[in-house]
Amino acid sequence: MARIYLYPNRGRRVMRTLYADEKIESVADSVRERYGLNFFPVVPEVIADAERINVFSARFRNPDIAGLITKRDGEVFIYIRDGDPAVRKRFTFAHELGHYYLHLQKGKGTNFIDAEHMFRMAGSQLDEVEAEANIFAAALLMPEREVRELCDAHVPLREMAEYFMVSNAAMYNRVRNLGLRV
């Protein structure tokens, strides 16, 4: 079944069909559980170390590139744009881990290069694999159960973002995509 998402930054609708939300949430939850990441903020480096993923800070020739993941000769490499704010780097890192679990491990490609606009919109639609990596990143860093509890407790959005160590925009999108209000 196709799902439609509203990404509030641009107000456009995005059609996704590869994975159901619940599956992506489940994958992110199982990754956190597997590596004992039941505290916040989640530390993506723990996952990369356990999976033997090589992670580097990089200066890309194309300044629009925020991150990439590639698999060469059986090794996986993640490159994250140097100079981005810490919260941005964390989301990029989690996004690349989303590609690792949802796409690389399933044989759906060996390289994913993520330009800045791909985290939001590419033209009028967000590419399906990029939308999935975004959902994975949000679910990994901001688990649904904890977000719901904080919303129920009327914790301000800014405080939630600080708690999960994500940007206000990422926190806002997560709350909205879960159908919650702050």
Ramachandran assignment for 32, one of left (phi > 0), alpha (psi -120 to 50 degrees), beta (any other): alpha
pLDDT tens readout for residues 49-100 = 999 999 999 999 998 899 999 999 989 999 999 999 999 999 999 999 999 9
Instruction: Pick the more confident residue, 173 or 13.
Output: 173
Least confident of 1-10, 115-124, 136-145, 172-181: 1-10
pLDDT tens readout for residues 120-152 = 444 334 578 888 999 999 999 999 999 999 999
pLDDT of residue 7: 37
pLDDT of residue 6: 36
pLDDT of residue 69: 95
Instruction: Pick the more confident residue, 115 or 125.
Output: 115
φ/ψ of residue 4, rounded to 5: -115, 135
pLDDT of residue 15: 41
pLDDT tens readout for residues 8-41 = 333 444 444 456 778 999 999 999 999 999 999 9
Helix (H) or strand (E) holding 80: strand 75-81
To 5 degrees, how large is the angle CA 122–CA 127–CA 128? Answer: 160
Count of helix runs (H) and strand runs (E) in the chain: 7, 6
- Is residue 76 within 8 Å of residue 53, measured between CB atoms? yes
Instruction: Pick the more confident residue, 13 or 116.
Output: 116
Q: Tell me: cis bond preceding 143? Omega within 30 of 0 counts.
A: no
Domains (ranges, CATH) in the chain?
Answer: 22-142 (1.10.10.2910)
Confidence band (pLDDT; 50, 70, 90) for 116?
low
Q: For residues 182 and 109, what is the distance between their CA atoms, to the nearest angstrom?
A: 38
